[in-house]
Structure 1
Amino acid sequence: MVERILDAGQQVLITHGYDGASTNRIAETAGISPGSLYQYFPNKDAIAGAVIDRYSDQLAAQVAANVTERLTQPAPDYVRESIAALLDALDVHPEFLRAVMEQTPRLGGAGKLLAFEQRIGELTLAYLTINNKQVREDAPLHTASWMLVRMVEHLCVRYILDRPPIPRERFLDEITLMSLNYLRPWATPPHDCFA
C-alpha cells in the first residue's frame, strides 16, 4: 500500500507540481480513500518527502553503478559517459525534478541529496586518485572532486529544467570540455595571469 501511495504521489507531483498536489488527489490517483491514505501518511508533506527520499535513493544507486563501471576508462570517456548517465537519470520527468529541487530543503530531505553528492564525490575522488597523472599537479583531489560534482550536478539540473536551445550532444560536449579543462595542467596558472 505504501508503494502504491508513493507511486500515486510521484504521479501527482509530475502532473500537478507540489502546489497542485493534495492528499485527495493522491488518494484518488492511488485508487483509495483519503482515510486509507491517512493510515500511512499524516499529510501531503510526508508523502512528498517519502517520494523524494525514494527518488534520491534510486538516483544515487543508478548513477553510482554507472560511474563505478567506468573507473578504468580514459578521462574523456569517463567524464562524458558519467555525465550522460546523470542526465539520463535526471531527465525522466522535468516537473518532478523541479518539485524535488524546490521542495527538498523545505521537507527536510536535503540529507538524501547530500548523501548522493557525497557518494558521487567519493567515486570521482577514486577516479582522480587512480588517474592522477591526468590531473594537474596543484589540484588538491578532494577539492577537485567536490568542485566537479557540484558543477556538473548544477549544470545538468539547470539544463533539464531550463530546456535551453542546446542539443543534448552539444551540452554533453561542452560540459565534458569544461570538466576536463578544469583538471588539465595550465600553461600559466591563473594567479600568475593577474600578477
Structure 2
Amino acid sequence: MVRAILDAARTVLENDGYSAASTNKIARAARISPGSLYQYFPDKDAIVAAVVQEYTDQLVARVTGHLLSKIGTCGERELIRESLQVTLDALEEQPELVRAISENTPRLGVSQKIAAVEERIGELVLAHLRLRSQPVPRSSVRVWMSVRVVEHLTMRYVLDRPPIERDVFLDEVTDLIVRYAYT
C-alpha cells in the first residue's frame, strides 16, 4: 500500500506540482480511499517528504556508487565529468519531480537530508584528493564549495533548460571544478 501511495504521489507531483497536489488526488491516483491513505501518512507533506527521501536515496546511491567505483582509478577530469554525467542523467529522468522537490524543499524540512547528501559526496571527493601525490591547498574548503556549485548548476540546467548543449555544459562545469578544486 505504501508503495502505491508513493508512486501515486510521485506521479501527482510530476503532473500537477506541489501546490496542486492533495491527499485526495494522491489517493485517487493510488486507487485507494483517502481514509486508507491516512492510515499510512498524516498529510500531504508527510507523503511528499517520503517521496523526497526515496528520490534522494536513489540519487545518492547512483552518484556515490559511481564515485566509489572511480576513486583512485582515474584522473580528476574523468572523475568529475563522469560524476557530473551520472548526476545529470539521474536528474533528467524526472525533471518535474526535481522541480517539485526543489521548489518545496524548505517548506518540507528536508534540507538536513540534502546537507547529508552533500557531506557524503564531499567525503568521497576528499578521499580522491588524498590519493594525489600533489596536495591541494584548502582541499576541504574547495570540495565543500565545489559540491554545492555542482549541485546548483546541475539542478538549474535541468530546470531552466538553457540553450547550452549537454556536452558543452558538462565540459564547462568540469573545467570549472578541475581548475578550482584541483589546482
Report TM bin, short chain.
over 0.9
The separation in 1 between residues aligned to 2:67 and 2:91, in whole angstroms, is 15
Q: Would you say how many aligned residue pairs link Structure 1 and Structure 2?
A: 182
Q: Give the TM-score taking structure 1 as reference length.
A: 0.90
Question: How far apart are 1:153 and its partner, in Å?
Answer: 0.8
Q: How far apart are residue 82 of structure 1 and its match? A: 0.7
Q: Aligned to 2:81, what secondary structure does the other structure show? A: helix
- Note the C-alpha offset of 1:164: 0.1
Query: Is 1:153 aligned to residue 151 of structure 2?
Result: yes
Shift of 1:183: 3.3
Name stretches of at least 5 consecutive residues in structure 1 with no aligned partner. Answer: 186-195
Q: Distance in 2 between matches of 1:50 and 1:75?
A: 35
Q: How many angstroms apart in 1 are the aligned matches of 2:11 and 2:68? A: 30
Q: Spell out the pairing of 1:21-170 with structure 2 (5 A cutoff).
A: 21-71=21-71, 72-133=73-134, 137=136, 139-170=137-168
Task: State the superposition RMSD in angstroms.
Answer: 1.2
Find the aligned partners of 1:62 and 1:132 in 2 and give their Cα distance.
Answer: 28
Letter in 1 for 2:142: A
Question: Under a length normalisation based on structure 2, what TM-score does the superposition of the two structures give?
Answer: 0.95
Q: Percent identity?
A: 51
Structure 2: gaps of 5 or more residues: none
Larger radius of gyration: 1
Structure 1 residue 123 displacement after superposition: 0.5
Are the aligned partners of 1:57 and 1:112 in contact in 2 as well (CA < 8 Å)? no
Counterparts of 1:155 and 1:35 in 2: how far apart (Å)? 41
Superposition deviation, residue 125 in structure 1: 0.6
Q: 4+ runs of 1 displaced by more than 3 Å?
A: none
Output the CA distance in 1 between the equivalents of 2:117 and 2:93: 18
| Deviation by residue 1:148-178 (Cα, 9 ceiling, x = unmatched) | 1011111000100000000101100100111
* Partner Cα distance (1:112, 1:59) in 2: 12
Q: Does 1:12 align with 2:12?
A: yes
